[in-house]
A = this chain, B = another copy of it.
Amino acid sequence: MSLPLIDVHTHMYLPRYVALLRERKQIPRIVSREKGDRLIILPDEDADTSTSAGRPIGSEFYEVKRKLAFMDQHNIAVSVVSSANPWIDFVEPDAAPKLAADLNDDLEAMCASSNGRLYGFGVLPLQRPETCAAELKRIAGLPHMRGVIIGSAGRGQGLDDPEFEPIWKAAADLGLFIFIHPHYGIGHELFPDTGHAMLLAMGFTFETSIAVARLILRGAMARNPGLKLLIAHGGGTLPYLAGRLDSCVKNDISKDFGLPKPPSHYLQQCWYDSIVYHPPAVAALTAFADPAKIMFGTDHPFFRPHVPEDVLDTTTWAVPEENVAALSGFDETTKKAISYENGLKAFGIKLPGA
């Protein structure tokens, strides 16, 4: 019998957010086409005005019953749902704090009526960093919220933005998770004629890696020892590059970051999802990370199977399938820890019905 799963990397565009995307004339936006709605979130997706611009977006992105059907289909007991990229990055600064609060309340309400199946990571109005600590405090009072998701770019100056220090401090004080997730990708010009594959495989993981490395090198984790970072897609490339980063930092006479410990020390205090698709990469992650800090994820509803809408709920999705398979050669202790035990502990939750 397959193990239950706690999915810590699973997204939704909440209905309030979808309505906003439908109204917009610029990316990010949702456009209606003959063959269905298309979601356009990356700049290069907007260049093409044909029906193939962007990606199909159906109710799997915004209806809670579709999330639950996906969970049932893949033996996922609990999902910690996060808003999906690009979050509220594009919103006018003056409108961001209220929108963030409304979306966080929406997410809490959705989770509250799920019989223990759903928990949430909210969003922050990063455009107004001075308001974020208060929103984090409010989020900590919402019973189903476990933290916030933050894009790698922050408000455009990276996560080592000095104005973000109160965010790290508040999150650490409140015990909330910061889920760090890529959105823009880097190196677009280096991926000519490679579809989306190279950008998704490398542009996104490189973006995450740089953002987190900068955050650590500038001392955010050293200054806030309780800070809980959950890093998307198995930490991008960081579990593999951590030792090289240590060495490059230690031996660089042109710059002294003044870190009390090498970067790998802080990276080993982070949490990682297990979305790495391959047994050797799971082995790499378990060799690097604290074994209690690796947690299963699916990236749902991205990487949607190429099937008609009416059979989507009963179709096996590739990401969970591949990432469950990647665990199959490991011992039971490791499999249980990654599949659900670490998630239960990290978020202080119980399996529904337990």
Q: Could you tell me which A residues sit within 8 Å of B by CB distance?
A: 52, 158, 186-187, 190-191, 193-198, 200-202, 205-206, 209-210, 213-214, 217, 233-234, 237, 239-255, 257, 264, 275-281, 283-284, 287-288, 303, 306, 318-319, 322, 326
Contact = CB atoms under 8 A, between A and B. Distances in A.
A342 to B, nearest CB: 18
B252 A244 contact: no
Contacts of A288: 278, 280-281, 284
A57 to B, nearest CB: 15
Contacts of A246: 277-278
A244 B205 contact: yes
A284 B240 CA distance: 7
B195 A252 contact: yes
A242 B281 contact: yes
A247 B318 contact: yes
A209 B202 contact: yes
Contacts of A240: 234, 237, 239-240, 276, 281, 284
A201 B190 CA distance: 19
A274 to B, nearest CB: 11
B283 A243 contact: no
A3 to B, nearest CB: 20
13 contacts: A194-B214, A194-B255, A198-B210, A205-B237, A205-B244, A237-B237, A237-B241, A243-B326, A244-B276, A247-B303, A264-B278, A283-B283, A283-B287
Contacts of A283: 283-284, 287
Given A200-B248, A253-B306, A283-B287, A243 B278 contact: yes
Contacts of A214: 191, 194, 198
A211 B49 CA distance: 30
A133 to B, nearest CB: 25
A273 to B, nearest CB: 12
Given A197-B252, A242-B280, A318-B247, A210 B217 contact: no
A277 B243 contact: yes
Nearest to A262: B278
B190 A210 contact: yes
A280 B284 contact: yes
A251 B307 CA distance: 12
Nearest to A209: B202
A196 B237 contact: no
A249 B217 contact: no
Given A239-B240, A281-B240, A250 B287 contact: no
A187 B201 contact: no
A287 B276 contact: no
Contacts of A234: 240
Nearest to A190: B210
Give me the 9 closest cross-chain CB pairs, A-B, nearest first: A243-B278, A195-B255, A284-B284, A243-B277, A283-B287, A280-B288, A240-B240, A280-B287, A237-B237
